[in-house]
């Protein structure tokens, strides 16, 4: 069955949808960010040297346009050996990438008459270009990378035009992969799925958060979609037509307030089975990644204290001995608070 689009008239789907999606992604990656974000991304780049292909900024601080909180970056590098001064960290980075690091820097904002100083906090992942390319594609057996970069991101640091083309392609693939892996969870009647795009995105977010043991509530999920609903609807529409063109589904049809696709019922069942396997693997690898973070994260005490103070409103003071050996002497203070707070 040939793929088609119905919006008043019927016409064949061509590669125009892929080109339009890539163009939109490319423009989105190039959108400007605050000076503080650029400055911090350059600080991270300097830490890892010329092997850095680019630095992506994403997450809640991008959506809310704030520096309050922990800024999320990913650093894509040519190879781990060049990116790390410690051979052990280079070796670990190849195991369940990315490796996650924490960094605090004092930023001086000189844009106003009075210079202000702000503490910028970031946790950032380091991954090589090969793993990133695979992780944003249909070859990935975990949603960890494509789930993140199907959402809006900014390419704050980019080495050259070839790197820009690489990121345009990888992030475009992340969107198509996200849609292609998750539409199977919508209700169907003998392989025919008719749904609204808000319903698709919210169910998809719910599934990917669950695969990482992230207990996000319905209000958060709904808000994530609604904050940028026009963007999400546009990229999903292009992605569904791309999937039809590539024969990942049989037909894609647009309606005024909904979308419908048809898929062979056997293929749909296989897709759902595959997701169950991906979810299980993602949870296991997620635990391994968390254990690795205890080595790579660095001085985690300031981060934990800041998070606790933010959540509890209490200023927490540790003695020099407790700061130096937190796992031995500070646990009576930190552990009870950790058990009561979500410090993701």
Q: Are strands 116-128 and 153-158 parallel, antiparallel or unpaired?
A: unpaired
Residue 308 has a pLDDT of 61
Residue 257 has a pLDDT of 74
Which of 59, 60, 57 minimizes the C-alpha distance to 35?
A: 57
Predicted confidence (pLDDT) at residue 127 exceeds the cutoff of 80: yes
Which of 130, 125, 56 minimizes the C-alpha distance to 293?
A: 125
Contact 77, 97 (CB under 8 A): no
Work out the average pLDDT over 246-257: 85
Stretch among 103-112, 127-136, 334-343 having the lowest mean pLDDT: 334-343
**pLDDT band at 300, cuts 50/70/90?**
low
Confidence (pTM): 0.84
Q: What is the pLDDT of residues 29-75, one digit of tens each?
A: 999 999 999 999 999 999 999 999 999 999 999 999 999 888 999 99
């Amino acid at each position: 069955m040939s793929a088609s689009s119905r919006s008043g008239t019927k016409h064949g789907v061509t590669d125009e949808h892929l080109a339009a999606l890539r163009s939109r992604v490319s423009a989105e990656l190039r959108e400007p960010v605050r000076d503080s974000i650029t400055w911090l991304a350059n600080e991270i780049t300097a830490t890892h040297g010329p092997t850095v292909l680019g630095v992506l900024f994403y997450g809640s601080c991008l959506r809310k346009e704030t520096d309050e909180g922990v800024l999320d970056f990913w650093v894509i590098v040519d190879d781990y050996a060049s990116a790390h001064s410690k051979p052990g960290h280079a070796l670990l980075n190849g195991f369940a990438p990315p490796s996650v690091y924490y960094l605090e820097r004092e930023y001086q904002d000189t844009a106003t008459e009075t210079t202000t100083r702000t503490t910028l906090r970031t946790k950032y992942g380091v991954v090589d270009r090969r793993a990133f390319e695979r992780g944003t594609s249909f070859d990935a057996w975990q949603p960890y990378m494509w789930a993140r970069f199907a959402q809006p991101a900014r390419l704050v640091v980019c080495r050259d035009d070839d790197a820009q083309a690489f990121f345009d392609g990888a992030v475009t693939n992340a969107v198509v992969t996200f849609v292609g892996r998750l539409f199977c969870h919508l209700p169907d009647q003998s392989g025919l799925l008719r749904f609204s795009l808000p319903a698709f995105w919210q169910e998809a977010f719910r599934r990917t958060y669950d695969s990482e043991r992230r207990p996000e509530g319905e209000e958060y999920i709904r808000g994530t979609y609604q904050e940028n609903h026009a963007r999400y609807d546009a990229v999903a529409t292009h992605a569904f037509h791309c999937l039809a063109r590539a024969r990942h589904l049989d037909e894609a049809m647009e309606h005024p307030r909904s979308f419908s696709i048809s898929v062979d019922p056997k293929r749909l069942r296989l897709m759902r089975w595959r997701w169950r396997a991906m979810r299980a693997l993602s949870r296991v690898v997620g635990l391994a990644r968390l254990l690795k973070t205890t080595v790579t994260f660095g001085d985690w005490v300031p981060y934990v204290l800041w998070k606790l103070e933010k959540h509890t409103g209490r200023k927490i003071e540790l003695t020099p001995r407790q700061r130096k050996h937190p796992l031995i002497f500070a646990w009576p203070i930190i552990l009870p608070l950790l058990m009561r707070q979500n410090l993701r």
